[in-house]
Amino acid sequence: MESQRRSLGDDSTISPELDRLIRQRGRDLRLRKLDQQNAVKIVNHLMDSLLEFLKNNEDQPFFREVSVLTSGSYYELVKINKPNEFDIMLKLKGPRLVLSELEEYQGLFYKIKLCKATRTEIQHFLLEDERTISATKIKAEMYRLVRKFISNHFQGEGWVIRRNLVNSPAVTLEFKAKENEDDVMSVDIVPTLEVPQGWPQAARAGPNVDKWLGKKCRRQFVSKAVYFVPKRPKGRNLKDDAKESWRISFSHIEKEMMHYHGNKKTCCETHSNRCCRKLCLRLLKCLIEGLKQQYPKELEPLCSYHGKTAFFHVLSDRVHDTLWSPGQLSVSFMKLFGYFERCALNGSLPHFFVREHNLFSPPAFPKRALLFLTNVLREQRELGLPVLKVPSPTSALVPDTDAVIQPISGTESIVASERSFRHVYVCLLVVIVCVGIGCVFQT
């Protein structure tokens, strides 16, 4: 067991080559300021126009009083490569609500009902019992309104609405600039219900941040409102309650933890107090993204939130700012990578806020996909994290010598021998023709 622990992210496993790779890749992941400015300008214009449209829409009064809550990697300052993905939560104003946990999902999914019957605008989104808020109706209406908004106000300006996905809570818009259609930017718009009367029982203990951010900070988190998005659990043959369920969201707390991430309040306030926490998360997101590009089918359940959850667990364990100094980047990242690999190996990644829920449990994360992830993470570690390497732009110009020396067998040998024979035959024919022409001129 001890030897296995040392092999998973121990300091002694970091070679000079791996150290250089981690540091170089970390520098390459930074966003260009010009790209950020252009992207934010486009997204802000879209959202300002959408809010104005919803405020004045006559179709559905319930969506008039929405407010924006930004979330996701860009607003947490951990976005990598390009500022091309934005998450926008639209908070819907509603009456007092009652939560009912769906027990088979360990505190992550809920049925949401009104405290009492109502004749307000929300009545159009209730089920037959006239109390339960329908997640599918809310999401469908959000999709319809956004589609109408795009067709009326942004037709021909590069924005298109993507097909509605059953297991996604978002209405996704894509933007393609006319001058460069290869660069695609997406905005996820998620309708959200706010429940201000306290966290549900499964999350009431709060996140494990006492040694990291402090008990006072945890109590402040738990005193805040909690949000729910219209997302159903994965799996087949869902019950009716599960099909209309809402998933609890802590994205506003996650963003705050990312912003105030240090054990001391002075962390990252000045250049001399910088840490490498966020850079470690960017590197793990880069690794996950690279693996999903290589194995899209096998690692379909894997997403950046798994890496983010592992990151929070490591922060709550390695609490001191001195452990995350920029000079400790490679060590800190390999500690994070090692923890993530151990979670996959053990089949256990507890949700950071709902501790009884395992993000690596089926059906959300099938055993076959988890086994594949375990093997590919071990392979990455043993080979020095090749997925972090940036392909050289001149690699296509370099001859592939390995392909020349590798033996050819089976049908490939037949094709190769036929091609070789044709080549020799053509060369002999050319030589004969040239000799014949020479003889004619001599005579």
**CATH assignment of the domain containing 203:** 3.30.460.90
Residue-level pLDDT at 400: 36
Q: State the burial class of residue 361 (Cβ atoms within 10 Å of its Cβ: 0-12, 13-18, 19+).
A: middle
Whether 180 and 73 share a structural domain: yes
- Residue 347, domain CATH: 1.10.1410.40
Whether 40 and 136 share a structural domain: yes
Whether 176 and 46 share a structural domain: yes
In a domain, 256, yes or no: no
pLDDT digits (tens, 9 = 90+) for 283-317: 999 999 999 999 999 999 999 999 999 999 999 99
Residue pair 268/275 in contact (Cβ under 8 Å)? The answer is yes
In a domain, 441, yes or no: no
With helix as H, strand as E and coil as C, how does the chain read? CHHHHHHCCCHHHCCHHHHHHHHHHHHHCCCCHHHHHHHHHHHHHHHHHHHHHHHHCCCCHHHCCEEEEEECCCCCCCCCCCCCEEEEEEEECCCCEEEEECHHHCCCEEEEEECCCCCCHHHHHECCCCCEECHHHHHHHHHHHHHHHHHHHCCCCCEEECCCCCCCCCEEEEEEECCEEEEEEEEEEEEEEEECCCCCHHHCCCCCCCCCCCHHHHHHHHHCCEEEECCCCCCCCCCHHHHCCEEEECHHHHHHHHHCCCCCCCCCCCHHHCCCHHHHHHHHHHHHHHHHHHCCCCCCCCCHHHHHHHHHHHHHHCCCHHHHCHHHHHHHHHHHHHHHHHHHHHCCCECCCCCCCECCCCCCCCHHHHHHHHHHHHHHHHHCCHHHCCCCCCHHHCCCHHHHHCCCCCHHHHHHHHHHHHHHHHHHHHHHHHHHHHHHHHC
Whether 377 and 304 share a structural domain: yes
Whether 197 and 234 share a structural domain: yes
Residue pair 162/180 in contact (Cβ under 8 Å)? The answer is no
pTM of the model: 0.84
Alpha carbon 362 to its chain centroid, in Å, reads 19
User: Cα-Cα-Cα-Cα dihedral of 378, 383, 385, 389, to 10°?
Assistant: -150
In a domain, 255, yes or no: no
Count of domains for the chain = 3
In a domain, 442, yes or no: no
- Closest alpha carbon to 194 in 275, 333, 91: 91
- How many residues does this entry show for the chain? 443
Amino acid in the structure at residue 294: Q
Using the 3D structure, point to which of 250, 277, 293 is the last residue of a domain: 250
Whether 98 and 132 share a structural domain: yes
Whether 56 and 123 share a structural domain: yes
Residue-level pLDDT at 265: 84
Whether 98 and 220 share a structural domain: yes
Range of the domain at 321: 1-32+261-396
In a domain, 104, yes or no: yes
Whether 292 and 309 share a structural domain: yes
Q: pLDDT per position in the chain (443 positions), as tens?
A: 444 444 555 555 689 999 999 999 999 998 888 888 989 999 999 999 999 999 999 889 999 999 998 888 888 878 888 888 999 999 998 888 999 999 899 999 999 999 988 888 999 999 999 999 999 999 999 999 999 999 999 887 889 999 988 889 999 999 987 777 678 899 999 999 998 888 999 999 999 999 999 999 999 999 999 999 999 999 888 999 999 999 999 999 999 999 999 998 889 988 888 999 999 999 999 999 999 999 999 999 999 999 999 999 999 999 999 999 999 999 999 999 999 999 999 999 999 999 999 999 999 999 999 999 999 999 999 999 999 997 654 433 333 333 332 332 333 333 333 444 455 445 556 556 555 555 544 54
Q: What tokens does 188 get?
A: 């996820």
Whether 67 and 194 share a structural domain: yes
Whether 291 and 186 share a structural domain: no
